Amino acid sequence: MDLDRALAALPANPRIVVTGNHATPWHTLRLVDERLAEYRLWMLNGQHGIPDRAGVTLETSFVGPGQRRSPRLSYVPSRLSLVPTLFAGSLSPDAVVLHTTRPRDGKVSLGVEVNVLPAAIEAVRRGGGIVVAQVNDHLPWTYGDALVDVEHLDVLVEADEPLAHAAVAPIDDASARIGELVAARVGDGATLQAGIGAVPDATMRGLIGRRGLRIWTEMFSDSVLALELAGALDTDVPISASFLFGSPELLEWVDGNERVEMVRTEVTNDPARIAGNPAMVSVNTALQVDLFGQANASRINARIHSGTGGQTDFIVGALHSPGGQAFIALRSWHPKADVSTVVALVDEPVTSFQMSAIVTEQGLAEVFGQDQREQARQIIDHAAHPSVRDDLWEEAAALGLA
């Protein structure tokens, strides 16, 4: 079947799930957009350049820079672990557009982005829809749930495009201090979850001297490669993740590497599966935290900025892991907004709460297991910027926390 015939057979205003994050199949997405006047484009973390015009509804459960602020955005709140449940019910897809390797032995690989795609493929097959794959020689071959039988693909579109790369950025002093504080709490044999960015990179790189570490994470970047090269990881345990993003060196390392196991989201982000890992350490960030230990990681002035993502999944899972810890790590002062990130009471919807500790460059505030007054004291004295501590104590008193 060719692409034109496949798209012509779709119902009016179809829902089309497309590989998101930094693995967007740009060539095929443009072809789809040229051929359909109206459709619902479902993508996780849609990047700049995705179609945003009249007739296109930008549908997602995690908002990216190409979707943020669009008047056509349709945000569907959901933990990432539950998106496959949405595909099986109220958000059933009519088509899935994948970004894959060239076929080998009757299979293709999804490469750097597995995430919710296996669930989307299963849902669209049950509903009689279509699966389109853009095959690209630049994608690395990865294993696990990344492998898809060619018989599940209706249309193959050949288009070689270079993948997006993340430059390894220098770690600033504040991020280095935060990473140092978190790393000091992590022992040999722990299991790690951390994303991309200066703080997670600083944390992971602070663990170079540990041994027997494991990786069970939603995504990873070059910091995991650094741990592998340093001999810090347990080589008898696969590196498990749902997607990855990083440098050309990282993509070269994962290509054909059976140590790397790509896993579908409803497994990687299942709190029970997360809890089954020994000494699970979860490191996430937020836009704001308050004196009750609540974190807002998704909204600014009530407008959706990102989404729940996997933060709640991993915080809950880590806290139930034997010896597990869940950290919210952020700078004490927001450089762009020029405000404290520690507030008395968040005025936005809460993304998560009841983490083990809140960490800023000022220090580490113990949260879990403390009464509410001690929580507030820890956060003010150890996490807040010194310039706002007096004000926070006044507000703490008004809230009954002092």
Active site residues: 218
Q: How far apart are CA 30 and CA 27, in angstroms?
A: 5
Q: How far apart are CA 382 and CA 261, in angstroms?
A: 38
Q: Kindly state the helix (H) or strand (E) to which residue 46 belongs, with its residue range.
A: none
Q: How far apart are CA 105 and CA 99, in angstroms?
A: 18
Cα angle: 305, vertex 113, 31; to 5 degrees: 85
Nearest CA-CA partner of 279 in 238, 320, 313: 320
129 contacts 93 by C-beta, under 8 angstroms: yes
How big is the chain, counted in residues? 402
Q: How far apart are CA 140 and CA 241, in angstroms?
A: 15
Burial of 254 (0-12, 13-18, 19+ CB in 10 A): buried
Q: Tell me the three state secondary structure of residue 176.
A: helix
Both tokens assigned to 113: 């982005």
Q: CA 341 → CA 332, 352, 392, distances in Å?
A: 5, 15, 12
Nearest CA-CA partner of 64 in 198, 266, 245: 245
42 contacts 91 by C-beta, under 8 angstroms: yes
What is the amino acid identity at position 150?
V
